[in-house]
A and B are shown apart, each in its own frame.
Chain A
Amino acid sequence: MAEKLGIYVCHCGSNIAGMVDVEEVARWAGKQIADVAVARDYKFMCSSLGQQMIEEDIRKLGLTRVVVAACSPHLHEKTFRRACANAKLNPYLCQLTNIREHCSWVSTDREAATAKAKALVYAAAERVKWQQPLEPMPVKVNPRTLVVGGGIAGLQATLELADAGYEVYLVERSPSIGGHMAQFDKTFPTLDCSACILTPKMSEVGQHERVRMLTYSELEEVSGSVGHFRVKIRKKARYVDENLCTGCGICVEKCPRKVIDHEFEAGLGYRKAIYTPFPQAVPRIPVIDTQACIYFERGKCRACEKVCPTNAIAFDQKDETIEIDVGNIILATGWKMFDCRRLPQYGYGRLPNVYTNLEFERLCNAAGPTGGKIVLRDRKTEPRSVAIIHCVGSRDVKTNEYCSAVCCMAALKFGHLVLEKTKAKVYSFYIDMRTNQKGYEEFYQRLLEEGMIFVRGKVAEVTDAARLPSEHGQLIVQVEDTLLGKQRRIPVDMVILMGAMEPQADAKELGLKCGISCSMAGWYTERHPKLDPVATMTDGVFVAGVCQGPKDIPASVAQGAAAAARVQALITKGTVMIEPVVASINEEACSGCRICNNLCPFNAIEYDEDKGVSRVITAMCKGCGTCVAACPAGVISGAHFSNQQILAEIQGALWDANPNGNGLGGDGHASSAGDTQPSLVAG
């Protein structure tokens, strides 16, 4: 191969140069590695000057391959590929090797790190010689979008897209859109009423001509890829015909069965067996809870059916599977409440006057079970003192290590509401007070002025075991006040636990369906934590709201809008370029053994019965290379990760492994002649 290689070793300021002798690596590469036309080091390769240097070398020296030894390809592969493309070198003929994250930053010995960097450069250089020019494939983008989750983030994304003129399918698991925000009373720090700002958005979505809402529905299956996903959605049986129901509510009124509402009312209120979750629900079409319904239990009743003026009750309704085609998917699946029973020391579930934050939201909501009156479980006594405990299930290695981000502010909001509505004293037991958004710190100051009492310390226990007569009949909060440096016992009437936000129980499962992964904590992994917070590893799948990590309403709305903007960009462009890193089968050599046939989770391999060969459907291939490695005949090849490329990389990486000659031929084929030959046959 008469390739002309350019090798570029980056200092990355002192990030690499501090641990690796980059000048030596470049000098050595120029001498040691075959076919190297130029080897340089530079302060910052990714800077425009660094890129220009590469581009100029390609033009002037006629380089045919480029190796950049710098940082992770996840950071700058695109940068250097673009530089190559600018100089008319196919971007796939550029190889970035990672001597920063994988070498300088993890090493402590300069000499060893330099040796490792050399091996990595050698590996990249050997590999790049086998790389082939590749062209991305254009795929048309279906302008329809699927939004999963009808909370505030999903609603925002839906509206942004629909208002921009694109059709949106909005899938929501529960009977109504609205999400957690619909349960809240006031929102911090402005204290505007949650319902007042949310319901207009809900009805806008409900009435939007370009939005098709699929409530009480779940995502079953996703196939295809960016631009052309096919999605199966299971529409659960509501037992109410959506086309006939007018949402008059008579059925709900007449339903004889009343059950505790553990969902919307957080267990504090009741609902009927046929119900809409809340009065402003969108759509207003009720759902029959088959667990509660007398007819489903005993086979008779059908009161709702009798009273329905439009004959919309349909007891024979079945779950239905709907298939839709979309170009992009936005996941805004939200969160679930931490189960405060997991921390028995706080007494939730055992001590009646210990509440969760979600319960308290309902308690002080004017539309809630007590009409907004803050009372104890007896429904009449107003508390004289309230303790709010922060970080329940957050910032704790035993439960969740992360900070749930919103609880400090929500606690301040609760404090304000208690002070406003009652004469009670309010204590906040916090670890650190986190009020770092616009207007948040001011709100904290306001609560300090309003007289909320702040105790810095992690509460050890909430108990009803009184030690003093004065504590009798009260809940005692046992805490070390870390500012005073002493233990305190504070008797209160009511305790509110600021439970953590947790990922949905099935977040991982849903992520798998869409081809995205979760962090260890269970939040969806974004493509880049800083620079690409709404895109994911799978093109065409975006995340918004809390499903990506705990955040408040403004941040969720911003993410919803951001995800919509990303989708719009793709739709407007009309086509996306798909990575050409795909597998292909040499049909001439394929014998149709069918080993590969069920190895592809994306169904990208089909078997041609007539020809007796297997074939890769390029548009569906995601390029994992599993079939390439599995093919017993070796007739499947993987673009950009070919056997030759990887074997060459191994060879380069082990260039110094056997100084006495490793007994293998240059082509990586062990059986080719190449053993040291004593030429003993007389000439």
Chain B
Amino acid sequence: MSDKNAFEPKIIGFMCNWCSYRAADLAGTARLKYPPNIRIIRVMCSGRIDPTFVLNAFARGADAVMVAGCHPGECHYVDQNYKAMRRYAMLKHTLTQMGLEPERFRLVWASAAEGQQLAEAITQLVEAVRPLGPLHWSGNWEENGHRHEALESILKEHEAAMEVTE
């Protein structure tokens, strides 16, 4: 990174033990290069990926989330990745209503042999999210409409009111 202050998205990747995590291993073994923005969390199967985790990652400040599993029909646990597929669709539907840009949440299928494809998908995700800027979800309520000033003014009012009565 030439500009140290440039925005670099922080991305959480949930990957299944058998295909996508191994694809990421393979990308490493093959010395493929992709941006360092993704932090991979291993689960046994994409079917383990609970929407709670995705929401939690966003709430904790992730700028994007990638969910990755074996190709449909190639799940190590027969067909559990279809559950991941359905949950992704459901979550995407909800997150759209919550105002999240679609680029920030992505589902990727990668077999253990597809290190190259996974590396490309990660690169694409980073490049798609960079121009969107930080998500900083908790910023949605941190400031909350001049809250601090408002509270201070209440104190002042009350002090003033007390003075009148006493």
Contact = CB atoms under 8 A, between A and B. Distances in A.
A and B touch in the complex (CB under 8 A): yes
A377 B70 CA distance: 48
Contact of B25 (A98, A661, A670): A98
B41 A517 contact: no
A248 interface: no
Interface in A85-131: 98, 100-103, 105-109, 111-113, 115-116, 119-120, 123
Contacts of A646: 41, 43, 50, 53
Contact of B36 (A103, A518, A678, A680): A103
A647 B14 CA distance: 12
Nearest to A658: B61
Nearest to A509: B73
B33 A647 contact: no
Given A654-B12, A654-B62, A649 B41 contact: yes
Interface in A570-593: 581
Interface stretch (A276-284, A305-313, A618-626): A618-626
A116 B39 contact: yes
Interface string A148-178: 0000000000000000000000000000000
A517 B32 contact: no
B28 A664 contact: no
Main secondary structure of the interface of A (DSSP, over half): loop
26 contacts: A73-B42, A98-B25, A105-B28, A106-B32, A106-B34, A108-B33, A116-B36, A116-B39, A123-B39, A512-B78, A518-B74, A520-B111, A525-B112, A623-B44, A626-B48, A626-B80, A628-B48, A629-B50, A629-B83, A643-B50, A647-B52, A650-B57, A650-B62, A653-B12, A663-B59, A663-B138
Interface residues of A, number: 68
Rank and list the top 9 A-B pairs by shortest CB-CB distance, nearest first.
Answer: A101-B28, A657-B61, A626-B47, A625-B48, A663-B138, A601-B78, A624-B45, A105-B28, A624-B77
B111 A74 contact: no
A108 B37 CA distance: 12
Contacts of A123: 39, 41
B79 A601 contact: yes
Contacts of B73: 508, 512
Given A74-B22, A641-B44, A663-B142, A105 B60 contact: no
B145 to A, nearest CB: 14
Contacts of A623: 44
A531 interface: no
Given A626-B83, A662-B61, 8 more contacts: A106-B28, A108-B33, A123-B39, A599-B80, A643-B50, A654-B12, A664-B138, A668-B56
Given A101-B25, A629-B49, A641-B44, A662 B138 contact: yes
A111 B63 CA distance: 20
Contact of B60 (A106, A508, A538, A651): A651
Contacts of B49: 629
Given A123-B39, A517-B76, A647 B56 contact: yes
Nearest to A623: B44
A105 B29 contact: yes
B27 A101 contact: yes
Given A119-B39, A512-B78, A625 B45 contact: yes
A647 B155 CA distance: 39
A525 B36 CA distance: 29
